[in-house]
Amino acid sequence: MQDIANWIDGHKGEFEKALCDWLRIPSISTDPAFAPEVRRAAEWLMTRMSQCGLEPQLVETNRHPIVVASTPPVPGAPIVLVYGHYDVQPPDPLDEWATPPFEPAIRDGKVYARGATDDKGQCLTHLLSAGAWLATRGKLPVQLKFLIEGEEECGSGSLQELLAGKYDQGEPWTRRLAADIIVVSDSSQYAPGKPAVTYGLRGLSYFEVRLTGPSQDLHSGMFGGAVTNPANALCRMLATLIDSSGRIQVPGFYDDVVELSAKERAGFAALGFDEAAFRKGLQVDATTGEDGYTTNERRWARPTFDINGLLSGYQGEGSKTVLPAKAGAKFSFRLVPNQDPAKIEAAVRKHLQSVCPPGIRMEIIARPGAAGSMVPRDSPFMSAAGRAIEAGFGTAPVFIRSGGSIPIVNQFRSLLGCDTLLLGWGQEDDNLHSPNEKFSLADFHRGTQTSARLWDELSRVKC
């Protein structure tokens, strides 16, 4: 492996330039106005794949294209599917960025730009490592299949359609993408200097509620107390979803929740979580959540409820004594493995209908959700990943769960019949989905080295 490691070290400058070039493309998938830029990001990826020695294909969809590529089969070795996404979140609020979100800036060894860690930087490490193998050895020890989509940040609709057969071209895509293990780098290390393998993800159930009262905004002095105020109603209704001890109050919500085992709780405790440093990094004076659980247990392995956005009434400078005609909120539940998003949706709808007051018309919109997922920790693929990370980062990884959601992981399990290795090179403070998103260039290069070692380690797993 030394020849490959040396080759990667010798191309660090080129790799950083390539990353910055990709980050300059504002591939915001949620906003139709950026559709040409999303396509440009896919085309950039196609070009880079070709430069690495691959033969990519652009799969056209009804929305944003999907990029696929494959290396030749290797008899007796596993087939590895690498999944990632080239689309990014909107950069708002723009005034909180120290430098423009699509003009990559390097400060203190980190690159700042939207998409730096989620997911362009992490995704690129696997492509670069494949290119390193092809440049030095002429072939890879496993067959790699790349599947890079452009809609992860808006629900992966086109990828779901592809897996369901909508874009089949002769041979079904589920057969063309068949693999023994999937590799995804869209998560984080446990802490600086503590790389991790993530074996569990939470799921997601997301809603928007819209309340309408009178036909127009009213004078609060003339009509307040006689007409139901949609903003007041919204606050009361949202407050019924959770109590002061952090328990969600939707009837039946906890029916399928599997409690943490004593062994798993002990494993979390052994990680040495620094609560004070956690609070300091977030600039908060306390942590809160469901009673009876630690911070890591709450954010990784317990269900939660959060209001994600609120809209109602007068938002301008000064005062305006208005009784608003409308009010709305976006809110979500993070789910744990075994909870069914469809059951949660039905229960939430029933609960909100039961607490909606007279004088209010309500509309509930459920956004695409996902179930949680778990990967067996005793898998030989897990062991191979651990060895690769130890070689690339110089220290053995810890095994953690993540509070985030990667909806496509469960669909891969059900449609392709294989598990996913979640190997994150980023850090939790990389500001994913927030202003000043960043990615350590040292971790970018360590991730590339680890990825190159991973293909070697996985080639030794007997399927």
What DSSP assignment string belongs to 99-158?
A: S-TTS-EEETTEEESTTIIIIIHHHHHHHHHHHHHHHHTSS-SSEEEEEEES-GGGT-HH
Pairing of strands 304-312, 326-335: antiparallel
Residue 130 and residue 320: Cα distance in Å, rounded? Answer: 61
Catalytic residue among 37, 149, 151, 152: 152
All residues at 6 or more sequence positions from 377 whose CB lies less than 8 Å from its CB, including other chains = 199, 399
Residue 313 and residue 129: Cα distance in Å, rounded? Answer: 53
Q: Assess whether 152 carries a catalytic annotation.
A: yes
Length of the chain in residues, anyone?
463
Q: Could you tell me how far CA 398 lies from the centroid of its own chain?
A: 20
Q: Assess whether 87 carries a catalytic annotation.
A: yes
Q: Could you tell me how far CA 148 lies from the centroid of its own chain?
A: 14
Q: Is the dihedral of CA 72, 75, 77, 80 positive or negative?
A: positive
Count Cα neighbours of 431 within 13 Å in the Cβ-side half-sphere.
Answer: 23
- Tokens 């997922």 — which residue? 373
Catalytic residue among 37, 87, 119, 430: 87
Calculate ∠ Cα 147-153-157, nearest 5°: 65
Q: Which residues are catalytic?
A: 87, 152
